[in-house]
A and B are shown apart, each in its own frame.
Chain A
Amino acid sequence: MPAALSLQGLSKRYGTLTAVDRFSLEVEQGTVFGLLGPNGAGKTTLIKMLTTLMRPTEGDAFIQGHSIVSAGKKVRELIGVVPQENNLDRYLTARENLVLHAKMHGIPPRDYRPRIDELLELTGLSGRRNDFPDTFSGGMQRRLVVARALVHQPRLLFLDEPTTGLDPQSRRALWDHVRTLRSRMTIFLTTHYMDEADSLCDRIVIMDHGKSLVDGSAAELKARYAHAHIYELEVRRDAQRYEELFSSLSAVTSLEREQNAFRIVLRDEESLKPLMDSMESGDIRRICLVEPSLEEVFLDLTGKAVRE
């Protein structure tokens, strides 16, 4: 069985600007794949190429073995797309939006009618089927866009920042819905929310300046980038003296104190021993290693400067 998605040196250039730079990747069937990156990293350009909205300058990508360059129509039969913006037709009812999508996929009415009813039920929009999307909340509109992308039962679903602008309840509801899909299709997700990627994705790639920086599961990335060696340490007594002592150690790169508790960033793994040697063992109430969050990994890789 071919990979759900295979990118082979995919590039997109606009004059001198390279938005996506020889991007290569393989995504296995049934994976929830997360693509993270700051604004302008090239995520949207990459999705536009994969969904055949944009032609690559160089390279190719294959969806279920079909080229996005030479078999665009076949690719579009296999994919579902939830774009960043809710591009629903405001002059059609919720149900009519789904019917139009089914017609464009050439699905006969006897097949699309029960499917649409089922999707409206699943997304909790059954009671609003004959209402216009303008009268829906942001979360309901988003659910309708997801339902529309699922009408033709795609093999690969692209979710481009699916929960941006939603309240926490709507986000959680959408996450739950995405989890129910993972057994039936491969999901390609982009998001700015690290908790979303952490919670949903089996595999994550962080990209910047059009290139892949790192690839792995959330746990792997956190483990791989735990080189900051952050410890939380609490002493029983002499906190002031220990603060002065830790500050003088070259192994300590950053120190924060709140009463008897310290948050210490060490230079490297070997720095723990000199730290411990400098302390009386009876003074230590608690010491623990702090695992970096996915957000810390992300910022470590892409920098803290705000992008335009």
Chain B
Amino acid sequence: MLRGALSIVWRDLIVLRRSLFSELLAVVASPLTLFFAFGFGLKGYITAVDGVPYAVFIAPGLISMTAVLAAFEESAWSMWFHRRVQKTIEEYRVTPITVYDIVVGKLISGFTQGGIKGVAVAVVIFLITPFRFPLQNLSIYLLFIALGSMIFSCLGTICGTVMDKPENIGRIQSVVIMPLIFMSGIFFPLSSYPPSILPVIRLLPSTALFEGARTALLSGASSMLSLLILGGTAVVMFALAVVVFNRKIEE
């Protein structure tokens, strides 16, 4: 089953390699700006959150955000472009690969690109800021990022599959993706929410991702509930991506 998927990943990595420098430059700019604006700009006003310096508090979230946004964008735009502009999806579909190959290939590509871009941001933040973390915490943090990238990659695949107009992908990003990210405690602690809505916020997969990833990276603790929410959401989103893609190409 993976032959077709890996062929698609091979293709996507060749294309990424050709524009790696400009891609990384573009992807590092946004989280770094946020880091400087919030981490340094608000440092005088917010000294620490739950005993963690504010710049350190937001750094893991910015790295996670870069990774999942890159996964979403790569999957959504790539799927849309291959389906609507180049029509290469049609070429893939007349070869002996399956629908699963195409969806899994695009997921792995989105996931890989998210990982590469997340690492790039992490390296830059690590080099130019005092942000540090215990290395033994990295593996569990990466597990959170992997699940988060998979969810956002599936979401991107679904958007790129169902949306025929490119501007609608941008709208989804503004109306769904960005609020999900910003509401999930990247820039402020969840305890800031009124107690009445906090349980709802805690159930959001994005909260499980950003809050869980930060806790994992800074303290090494992993929340089983967060991992379960992320794992369950990833499975559901993958199934949904396959069904939606299958249905769309039958039209």
Contacts and interface: CB of A to CB of B under 8 A. Distances in A.
Q: Which 3 pairs, one residue from A and one from B, show the smallest C-beta to C-beta distance?
A: A104-B95, A103-B7, A87-B87
Interface string B82-115: 0000111011111111100000000000000000
Counting contact residues on chain A (CB < 8 A from B), the size range is 20 to 34
A73 B94 contact: no
Interface string A103-137: 11110000000000000000000000000000000
Interface residues of B, number: 23
B90 A87 contact: yes
Given A87-B88, A88-B86, A100 B10 contact: yes
Nearest to A85: B87
A58 B249 CA distance: 19
Interface of A: 51-55, 73-74, 76-77, 79, 81, 83, 85, 87-92, 96, 100-101, 103-106, 148
Contacts of B93: 52-53
A77 B250 contact: no
The binding surface of chain A is classed by DSSP as: loop
B96 A92 contact: no
A104 B15 contact: no
Given A104-B92, A106-B96, 14 more contacts: A51-B94, A52-B93, A76-B95, A81-B91, A87-B86, A87-B87, A89-B86, A89-B88, A90-B86, A92-B14, A96-B11, A101-B91, A104-B96, A105-B96
Contacts of A106: 3, 96
Contacts of A87: 86-88, 90-91
Given A76-B96, A87-B88, A55 B250 contact: yes
Given A87-B86, A87-B88, A53 B94 contact: yes
Contacts, number: 63
Contacts of A101: 91, 95
A100 B11 CA distance: 7
A73 B93 CA distance: 10
A55 B86 CA distance: 23
B156 interface: no
20 contacts: A51-B94, A53-B90, A53-B93, A76-B94, A81-B94, A89-B11, A89-B88, A89-B91, A92-B15, A100-B7, A100-B10, A103-B3, A103-B6, A103-B7, A103-B10, A104-B3, A104-B7, A104-B97, A105-B95, A105-B96
B39 interface: no
Given A83-B90, A92-B15, A77 B96 contact: yes
A104 B15 CA distance: 17
B185 interface: no
A7 B91 CA distance: 23
A54 B250 CA distance: 6
A79 B15 contact: no
B1 to A, nearest CB: 11
A91 to B, nearest CB: 5
